[in-house]
Amino acid sequence: MGMMDGKVALVTGAGRGVGRGIALELAKAGAAVVVNDLGVALSGEGEEQGSPAEQVVAEIQAMGGRAVANHDSVADWDGACAMVKAAVDNFGSIDAVVNNAGNLRDMFFHKMGPEDFDAVIAVHLKGSFNTSRAAAPFFKEQGTGAYVHMTSTTGLIGNFGQANYSAAKLGIVGLSKSIALDMQRFGVRSNAIAPFAWTRMIDSIPTDTPEQKKRVEGLKKLDANKIAPFVVALCSDKGKDVTGQIFAVRNNEIFLFSQPRPIRTAHTAEGWTPETIADRVFDQFVNDFYPLHRSADVFTWEPV
């Protein structure tokens, strides 16, 4: 028997890349899958030729699995509700939601327009809320359920030219933790994963310098399908005690991330003034300040 036999999962952005791998792996493990994908360009605009969601459904059915396609937008509340309804109407329940849908509008902060910020927040952060909230009543009633949200080291650590994406992805971490806290009494868990994978989401990285070319060659070694087994494990009953955590998957490496906690303190019986803070606190804390690292500055070794 598969780890997901009898379960029903919704995977957003499942037409290509990481999402496709997750949908296929869930189906191999026995789950019925709602394969959601808009079938649009990376920016979230226009349409691709053919239907990526339908292609993944055909792959699942060809292996003897059960799946249906959905083309609604996670950024739309009614669309998110329709995805969950598709799971219940077609397969009788909803047991897991994998929030993978995404878009990019990369540019340096001083050039970023409000529409570029809003478009990315709407899909990544608001979209993750919409689908999660739409499934919450079903999870609550049945006393079980699993959320898996895709974050990014761009939000957890940092990167150039992605203020919108970074804000959304770090926001997802907060959303996931809040869901875990609010839904734990109903047997529902929520976790976040930062996936390392070569997909069209990072295929737009420039290669104008030797350093950039070297970095891209390293990224091309990251297999998008390597994320899927960990997602299935989290969604299965064997992951029922794992909640509120932040993970990363990088080929054959799995990481558990720390979460913000105080590391230094300063106090005074007299109370602080701006002058005493500047004179005393900054000097006390400076050795523990975090440098302006990017993800690539932290993950410096070749993927395993």
Q: State how far the Cα of 95 lies from the Cα of 100, in Å rounded to an integer.
A: 16
The one-letter amino acid at 96? A
8 pairs with which residues across the strands? 32
How far, in Å, CA of 53 to CA of 71, rounded? 8
Task: State how far the Cα of 282 lies from the Cα of 157, in Å rounded to an integer.
Answer: 22
Q: How many beta carbons lie within 10 A of that of residue 243, not counting itself?
A: 21
Q: Cβ(207)–Cβ(216) under 8 Å?
A: yes
Concerning whether 147 is annotated as a catalytic residue, the answer is no
- Distance CA(229)–CA(29), nearest Å, equals 9
Name, in order, each residue with C-beta under 8 angstroms of 66's C-beta and a sequence gap of 6 or more: 27, 32, 33, 60, 91
Q: Catalytic: which of 129, 138, 165, 230? A: 165
Phi, psi at 222, each rounded to 5°: -85, 115
Residue 293, amino acid: H
Amino acid code (one letter) for 174:
G
Q: What is the DSSP letter of 238?
A: G
Tell me which residues are annotated as active site: 165
